[in-house]
Structures are given as structure tokens and as C-alpha cells.
Amino acid sequence: MRKLAVIAIMGTAILSMASFQSCKRDDPTSTEFIADNTTFANFHSWSLDATNHGPSPSLGIAHAGNDTSVTRKVYFKNGQARVNGTYPIGTVIVKHSTNPAGTVNEITGMVKRGNGFNPTTGNWEWFMLNPDGTIATDGSGIAMRGGAAMMGGMCNSCHGGASSKDFTFSK
């Protein structure tokens, strides 16, 4: 009788361990951060970690950087820093490019999504944002977000050059 009870208890323990494991693996909050329209809200009040003007050697035409009148501000949510060389899952960064003439108003975002989402460049997901921080949509109403294929691979290819800083340039 006692033996049976021990076996039953062990059985239950093993079963609950197994279900805990699979729950952990499938739980998106533990391994993956999927941004939504609230993720970038109030980005202007986050930690301003870089303010750049004019051309950047690696910038080319992206982010309107070759126009010297353009200011590019980079905001890190919660001032997040790298931990042991990489940014933790859930890290959110926004970059806002503007010029005094008002002809440039570009807001891009990158979010550490994790879970093997975009392994070539550190599992970052790329975003185009509206001025209020919601995720922009293209002419067909599709959200402008993605990994390696985002903007024909442009985001991945440039930021790939910043691999030593976990694919970010500013911090």
C-alpha cells in the first residue's frame, strides 16, 4: 500500500514537471515578446540615448541621414542596457528622424522578440511607426513589421554591420 502511494506521488510529480516544462516552452511571455500598438506609446518620454545629425558613415539613404538638416533621436524604453553582451527579450528602441522643414518625419522601431524570430540579426523585429507610436500599415492595411524580409532585407543588412553591439548602433 505504501509503495503504491509513493509510486502515485512520484507519477504525479513527473507528470506535473512535464506539463510545467511544456507550458514554459509554449508560454510566449517567457521566451518571446510580441509587440503591439501599446508597446511604443509615449516613446518621446523614454531615455534619449543618442541625438545624431547629418550623414553617418554607415547610413546611406536610410533614416534620411544624408540630409544635414535632419535630426535623428534614439530612445531606449526604460533606458535598457545590454546584459552580458545582448539586450534582453522585450527590449524596445525607437528612432525618430525629423527636419525643421517638416518634410521628414520617420519613426522606426526595433524590438527584441526572441524565440528564433530573426536569427541573422539577434532575433530583433523591425517596425515602421506612426507619430503616436502605433504600428504603421502599408497601402493594403498590412502592419509594417517583420524580420529578415522587412523592407526587402534593408533593416537586417545595415544593422548586421553592428553585430558587436547586438545589432544596434547607438548604445
The residue ranges that bind ligand HEC (CB under 6 A) are: 52, 56, 58-60, 62-63, 65, 72, 74, 93-95, 108-110, 126-127, 150-151, 154-155, 158-159, 168-170
Based on CB atoms, which residue is closest to ligand HEC, 31 or 144? 144
Contact 141, 147 (CB under 8 A): no
CA-CA-CA-CA dihedral for 29, 34, 37, 43, to nearest 10? 90
Contact 92, 74 (CB under 8 A): no
Least gap, CB of 89 to ligand HEC (angstroms): 16
Distance CA 35, CA 40 (A): 8
Contact 35, 145 (CB under 8 A): yes
Give the up-direction half-sphere exposure of residue 120: CA atoms within 13 A in the CB hemisphere: 15
Least gap, CB of 9 to ligand HEC (angstroms): 52
Least gap, CB of 109 to ligand HEC (angstroms): 5
Based on CB atoms, which residue is closest to ligand HEC, 3 or 53? 53
Q: Cα 103 to the chain's mean position, in Å?
A: 26
Least gap, CB of 28 to ligand HEC (angstroms): 22
Based on CB atoms, which residue is closest to ligand HEC, 2 or 100? 100
Based on CB atoms, which residue is closest to ligand HEC, 32 or 106? 106
